[in-house]
Amino acid sequence: MTPPPTFLGKDLIGLEHLAREQIQAILDTAEVFKEISERPIKKVPVLRGKTIVNLFFEPSTRTRISFEFAEKRLSADTVNVASTGSSVSKGETLVDTARNLEAMRIDMVVIRHSASGAARFLADRIPSNVINAGDGRHEHPTQGLLDLLTIRDHRGAIEGLRVCIVGDVLHSRVARSNIWGLLKLGAEVAVCGPATLMPAAVETLGVRFFRRIEEALEWADVLNVMRLQLERMHAGYVPSLREYNRFFGVSNERLEAAPRDILVLHPGPMNRGVEIDSDVADGPHSVILDQVTNGVAVRMAVLYLLAGGRPDTAEAAKGGP
């Protein structure tokens, strides 16, 4: 049976196709749900009786745990399926995995997969709600949303802010979700990094492209620093990590020279001393741990809304502390 349409539609695949109002509503709902995690007893019966499968075809610690906490704090029943030690690693196709899960009458699937489009693929084939927890280089919408929430928390509003995404945009689903979400909420968006790590025609997405980090720091209010995976160096996208740090790394020295007080985000896991220096990560500009805290709230909001909850009844749904 197909669940009735919700405020977000059946699935959350990406931010590209969400309306500004939907994104705002998720952030507002997350704001309401934040408080649950501050209670001594961190559990409300919002998703009681709902069955959720966390289907992770790619290793993930932070995102999987964040989803799991969000699900458990809303009282859902959850099962984790990881790619190792399951039928997934025995050559079963994605479509068969999905159909088998469906046959067990689940309500939602949270999927992480290395192929772009995998979440859409699954969503088109099963009636359960599907939440994209990262598909290839395409999107990672809940990460985008938690970045938006964190920026909003610290700067009051996103409209009119100048946000620059620094580093490996080519391989980054986080970058794409950030670009769509930020543009929809009225931010000015730029990307900065070597052209080898930028996708083709990146400016056609509606962003500026800075080839030098000095230009980005001159311009930006907020930096969202992308992880540089070590295999990118081995594949020749950058000559060395040392050189990358020297020309594109975010250091305190660079931040101090900037004309504005810059907020620094990083989706993790960090390569300290490569794309971001330790004194930045642990310093006053950094809101990296706030991002992690907000991740749970944002995921609770998404789960609640996809399960049929309304943004305006979130307060009532979670009950008092």
Among 81, 82, 115, 292, binds another protein (CB under 8 A): 115
Under 8 Å between Cβ of 303 and 74: yes
Tokens at 14, concatenated? 């990406």
Could you say which residues in the range 229-288 bind another protein, by CB under 8 A?
none
Among 94, 233, 241, 258, binds another protein (CB under 8 A): 94
Total chain residues near another protein (CB under 8 A): 24
Q: Is 173 in the site for another protein (CB under 8 A)?
A: yes
Binding range to another protein, per CB under 8 A, among 34-42, 113-121, 149-157, 270-278: 113-121
Q: How distant, in Å, are the alpha carbons of 84, 116, 213, 274 from that of 290?
A: 31, 28, 24, 22
Q: Is 58 in the site for another protein (CB under 8 A)?
A: no
Q: Is 86 in the site for another protein (CB under 8 A)?
A: no
Is the peptide bond between 269 and the residue preceding it cis, with omega within 30 degrees of 0? yes
Nearer to another protein, 191 or 307 (CB): 191
Q: Is 199 in the site for another protein (CB under 8 A)?
A: yes
Closest alpha carbon to 250 in 202, 292, 283: 283
Q: Which residues pair with 224 in a beta bridge?
A: 165, 265
Site string for another protein, 10-49 (x = CB under 8 A): ------x---------------------------------
Q: What does residue 81 show for φ and ψ, rounded to 5 degrees?
A: -120, 120
Q: Which residues pair with 108 in a beta bridge?
A: 52, 129
Binding range to another protein, per CB under 8 A, among 25-33, 137-145, 150-158, 226-234: 137-145
Among 61, 200, 231, 259, binds another protein (CB under 8 A): 200
Q: What does residue 254 show for φ and ψ, rounded to 5 degrees?
A: -70, -40
Minimum CB separation of residue 205 from another protein in Å reads 7
Minimum CB separation of residue 273 from another protein in Å reads 28
Under 8 Å between Cβ of 127 and 102: yes
Q: Is 80 in the site for another protein (CB under 8 A)?
A: no
Q: How distant, in Å, are the alpha carbons of 32, 41, 301 from that of 315?
A: 6, 17, 11
Minimum CB separation of residue 81 from another protein in Å reads 17
Closest alpha carbon to 176 in 142, 209, 139, 132: 139
Q: Is 291 helix (H, G, I), strand (E, B) or coil?
A: helix
Sign of the CA dihedral with 81 first, then 226, 123, and 305 last: positive
Among 205, 233, 258, 292, binds another protein (CB under 8 A): 205
Give the type of residue at 17. Answer: H
Among 58, 68, 71, 135, binds another protein (CB under 8 A): 135
Binding range to another protein, per CB under 8 A, among 89-97, 208-216, 268-276, 295-303: 89-97
Residues near another protein (CB under 8 A) are: 16, 93-95, 113, 115-118, 120-121, 135-139, 173, 176, 199-202, 204-205
